[in-house]
Structure 1
Amino acid sequence: MLTLYHSPNSRSTRIITLLTALDVMDQIDIRLTDIPRQDGSGGRDPNNPHPEGKVPFLVTEDGETIRETNAIMLYLCDRFPSDFAPKVGAPGRATMLSWMAWYGNVLEPVFVLNVAEISHPVLTSTFRGLPEAITALAAGLEGRDYLLGARYSVVDLLVASPFLWFPQALPDVPVIKDWVARCGAQPAIAQTAAYEAEAQKSLTEMA
């Protein structure tokens, strides 16, 4: 059985949503773990094998490990094939890979830099900025309900996540606002919220 090291209400929450959407929660051993939080709470858990003490962290049956959210998502979608992600060779697969890499390589870095109010010419020349990322996202959504077309997919789950997590950062761009609302209304999002409330309670009791 696969093992997921997970901390409630963190970046690994997106993996819980994915497992819920794939309907495979019962096929994963989920180990709750603590992590350092931005507000100073929490701390590194010595039982978490991630080399940096982060989450999510996935361990396969043969002991291989996978870190980084988009890599874990790709692995899980290939491991548990469904309509939630295009299979290798299927239409939309290339677009899916591009958006998922773009999220980790561009959107999350510029999003975090914007929140931290950090600016530098090297950062701008490397990643551009949040306005450019928003423009690219809006262009990708033009004329479609979701990033891969008419169906909500793993790409939308990942790329919409920072705007669902920090709604105050949602840009005043109608095509993006409507898309985030559609993503937030997905049943897997509500199911994840219920799971996380119980997981947080369990983690607190373990402390």
Structure 2
Amino acid sequence: MITFYHAPNSRSGTVAIAIEEMGLSGEIETKIVSVPRQDGSGGPDAANPHPEKKVPALEVDGTLVTERAAILALLSELFPEAPTAIPPGHPDRGPFLMWLAYYAGVVEPLIMGMVCEVSDSPIWITTYRDMAAMAERMESALADRDYLLESGFSAADLIMASPYMWKRDWLPKVPVIEAWFERVKGRPAVQAVAMRDNP
């Protein structure tokens, strides 16, 4: 049995969209939980098994997995035949894992550094690179394709696009990246989850 713990309009939206894209709504039970919000609303939910009461969390036969990158990679392993799955053995598996790790280790810290106004610090740049380097890397990957992977759309696109769903102004002002974001944002699964999360 697989249970997904989701809080609408939170980071777990990336996993909710991936589940929709992969056609797994019938295979995975979704439980809505509350989480503490920046505006002071919400709060820890006793029904949420995440050790920090955050989302996303995925329970697979009693084993708990947290963190978006890990959950997205695991879903592709558990459901290798699902649409957009990039399972072990797939030619794009390495690049897929690279983008998931790049998001968690570089992109999110870069954006948080920008929001906290510390991203121009030499230590920050040395550790996480900078926004221009990130944009260059994305632009290069998208130069001859619609999505980040040669095989097409995947959860790598979802996680890389996720911060810009919250604030479009953060998106690098590069035509090929802006066009990619519009393609990701316009996907039916993205729209379906947005409708469910905001009835």
- Measured against the shorter chain, the TM-score band is over 0.9
Distance in 1 (alpha carbons) for counterparts of 2:151 and 2:174: 20
CA displacement 1:107-128 (0-9 Å, x = unmatched):
1110111122124332221111
Residue type at the aligned position of 1:15: V
Equivalent position SS for 2:3: strand
Unaligned runs of 5+ in 1: 199-207
1:178, CA displacement in angstroms?
0.5
Percentage of pairs with the same residue = 39
1:86, CA displacement in angstroms?
2.6
Equivalent position SS for 1:26: coil
When the two chains are superposed, the root-mean-square deviation of aligned CA atoms in Å is 1.4
Task: Give the aligned length.
Answer: 197
Unaligned runs of 5+ in 2: none
Q: Which structure would you say has the larger RCO, counting Cα contacts within 8 Å and 6 or more residues apart?
A: 1
Task: Tell me if structure 1 keeps the 8 A contact 2:5–2:32.
Answer: yes
Partner of 1:108: 108
TM-score, with length taken from structure 2: 0.93
Could you list the structure 1 runs, at least 4 aligned residues long, displaced by more than 4 angstroms after superposition: none
Distance in 2 (alpha carbons) for counterparts of 1:194 and 1:125: 40
Partner of 1:185: 186
Partner of 2:164: 163
Partner of 1:151: 152
Equivalent position SS for 2:26: helix
Partner of 1:52: 52
Equivalent position SS for 1:89: coil
Residue type at the aligned position of 1:77: S
More helix per residue: 1 or 2?
1
Distance in 2 (alpha carbons) for counterparts of 1:86 and 1:69: 15
Distance in 2 (alpha carbons) for counterparts of 1:124 and 1:172: 20
Partner of 1:3: 3
Task: Tell me if structure 2 keeps the 8 A contact 1:144–1:150.
Answer: no
Partner of 2:122: 121
1:150, CA displacement in angstroms?
5.8
CA displacement 1:64-103 (0-9 Å, x = unmatched):
1101001001111111123403321221111111111111
CA displacement 1:158-183 (0-9 Å, x = unmatched):
11111122112122100100000111
1:61-76 to structure 2, matched below 5 A, reads 61=61, 63-76=62-75
Equivalent position SS for 2:38: coil
Partner of 1:90: 90
CA displacement 1:10-61 (0-9 Å, x = unmatched):
0001111011001111221212111111122211112212111110011111
Distance in 2 (alpha carbons) for counterparts of 1:51 and 1:127: 27
Partner of 2:16: 16
Residue type at the aligned position of 1:159: M
Equivalent position SS for 1:4: strand
Partner of 1:173: 174
Partner of 1:32: 32
Partner of 2:77: 78
Task: Tell me if structure 1 keeps the 8 A contact 2:21–2:83.
Answer: no
TM-score, with length taken from structure 1: 0.90
